[in-house]
Amino acid sequence: MPVLYDRLLKLKEMFNSKFGSIPKFYVRAPGRVNIIGEHIDYCGYSVLPMAVEQDVLIAVEPVKTYALQLANTNPLYPDFSTSANNIQIDKTKPLWHNYFLCGLKGIQEHFGLSNLTGMNCLVDGNIPPSSGLSSSSALVCCAGLVTLTVLGRNLSKVELAEICAKSERYIGTEGGGMDQSISFLAEEGTAKLIEFSPLRATDVKLPSGAVFVIANSCVEMNKAATSHFNIRVMECRLAAKLLAKYKSLQWDKVLRLEEVQAKLGISLEEMLLVTEDALHPEPYNPEEICRCLGISLEELRTQILSPNTQDVLIFKLYQRAKHVYSEAARVLQFKKICEEAPENMVQLLGELMNQSHMSCRDMYECSCPELDQLVDICRKFGAQGSRLTGAGWGGCTVSIVPADKLPSFLANVHKAYYQRSDGSLAPEKQSLFATKPGGGALVFLEA
């Protein structure tokens, strides 16, 4: 905590010089690393993240007017002010302040409030942006907790997580809720199995003889700014509908791949066999999807596809479903190994992480050359397993490394990936670090 205390003191000074007053309270929300279970939360399946020590911190002073003033300690992010009664979120531009507004609007709408008090907020974050460690969701969660505290209202952590997961969609990201859930439900010293519908979190004790190391590929990917992410969400939705139709279920009500499995009452392994029978590996075009479902192109566009996926011409349904069902099974295997703690536990967990990366790369196609190269380097220098984490297409890898190999692993990976001869990557301390499971979101009152 000493580092956090120093940051709070510094934030208080900066707040005073910015707004000419002292904050009344501070809110912290952490980023996260997803150890295994990529791109399956929005399909209804459990995931296995842990909070990282990096976080978003906000210093807050409620004011008597309706003015909302947001400032950031990072000069790259310009100040923003608006009326707290007229929150407009521009989906076309994922600017930093829009994530704050998502959290605020989510709480405002939950309580059905038209008038919100104004506030001065100074935001400080040390989660690398667009790195797949959920800097944007941490800001949404932090803003939600700020708003709740200003209102003097109470909600459970689960309710807060659900509200913030829903409200991030105001910016156009169709996420599944993992990032917001772990930000609120995390506890120091343990990873969590996060399950959905209903939302719940179970402790998963990670092996004591290994550490998880995060390495940033330094390729940035902003989920809300690119269509990749939302196209995958839609491909999974379409795959679920075609699988449901194939099995004579009421397909028009089905939105997620997990619902198909639940309705059929079969195992994930059996769902993989159904996928082999029902879907073909060749990409589907909109016309073929319409033929399979017996609907018109107009119905497909307006009733199923999201606005930002209406012009997509090919959908890889087989590959996406194969990834989701196999990845969901890997999450459950990972948890089981952690519980049973066999002798070769680190090796077994590493193999699952390696399989996850292969599936993300080949079936879900959410990797990139730099991530693949970084994963190879990590394995070469002692990681038992390594995979992309977060949405992909850039961002970070997570590796499981035996504790006794950590110093040499860090030195070798630094040399092989970050100190390349062309000097193209600025080595930052944020780029490569071992992490342990951190705690969840908190409010600190100014003494």
pLDDT of residue 407: 97
Catalytic option among 41, 79, 179, 362: 179
Whole domain around residue 132: which residue ranges?
Answer: 1-205+437-445
What burial class does residue 3 get, using C-beta atoms within 10 Å of its C-beta: 0-12 exposed, 13-18 middle, 19+ buried?
A: exposed
Share of the chain above pLDDT 70, in %: 96
pLDDT of residue 320: 98
pLDDT band at 422 (very low <50, low <70, confident <90, very high): low
Angle at 43 between CA 312 and CA 165, to 5 degrees: 95
pLDDT of residue 1: 59
Query: Locate tokens 């795959």: which residue?
Result: 239
Task: Give the Cα separation of 117 and 123 in Å (integer).
Answer: 18
Asked if residue 217 is part of any domain, the answer here is no
Asked if residue 312 is part of any domain, the answer here is no
pLDDT, tens only, 238-259: 999 999 999 999 999 999 999 9
pLDDT band at 430 (very low <50, low <70, confident <90, very high): low
DSSP state letters, 160-188: HHHHHHHHGGGGT----SHHHHHHHH-BT
Asked if residue 227 is part of any domain, the answer here is no
Average pLDDT over residues 132-138: 90
**Position 419 pLDDT exceeds 90:** no
pLDDT of residue 201: 96
pLDDT of residue 319: 98
Reading the block at residue 52, the tokens are 């990282």
- Residue 89's domain is classified under what CATH number? 3.30.230.10
pLDDT, tens only, 245-301: 999 999 999 999 999 999 999 999 999 999 999 999 999 999 999 999 999 999 999
Average pLDDT over residues 90-99: 87
Task: Give the Cα separation of 131 and 431 in Å (integer).
Answer: 10
Asked if residue 26 is part of any domain, the answer here is yes
Task: Give the Cα separation of 4 and 91 in Å (integer).
Answer: 33
pLDDT of residue 129: 83
Mean pLDDT for the chain?
93
**Position 225 pLDDT exceeds 60:** no
Task: Give the Cα separation of 39 and 21 in Å (integer).
Answer: 44
Structural domains of the chain, count: 1
**Position 304 pLDDT exceeds 60:** yes
Catalytic annotation on 179?
yes
Asked if residue 28 is part of any domain, the answer here is yes
Asked if residue 318 is part of any domain, the answer here is no
Asked if residue 353 is part of any domain, the answer here is no
pLDDT, tens only, 69-94: 999 999 999 999 999 888 999 887 77
Asked if residue 76 is part of any domain, the answer here is yes
Taking alpha carbons only, the member of 331, 366, 433 closest to residue 54 is 433
Task: Give the Cα separation of 72 and 88 in Å (integer).
Answer: 19
Give the global pTM. Answer: 0.92
**Position 14 pLDDT exceeds 80:** yes
pLDDT of residue 423: 57
pLDDT, tens only, 210-221: 999 999 999 887
Average pLDDT over residues 330-358: 98
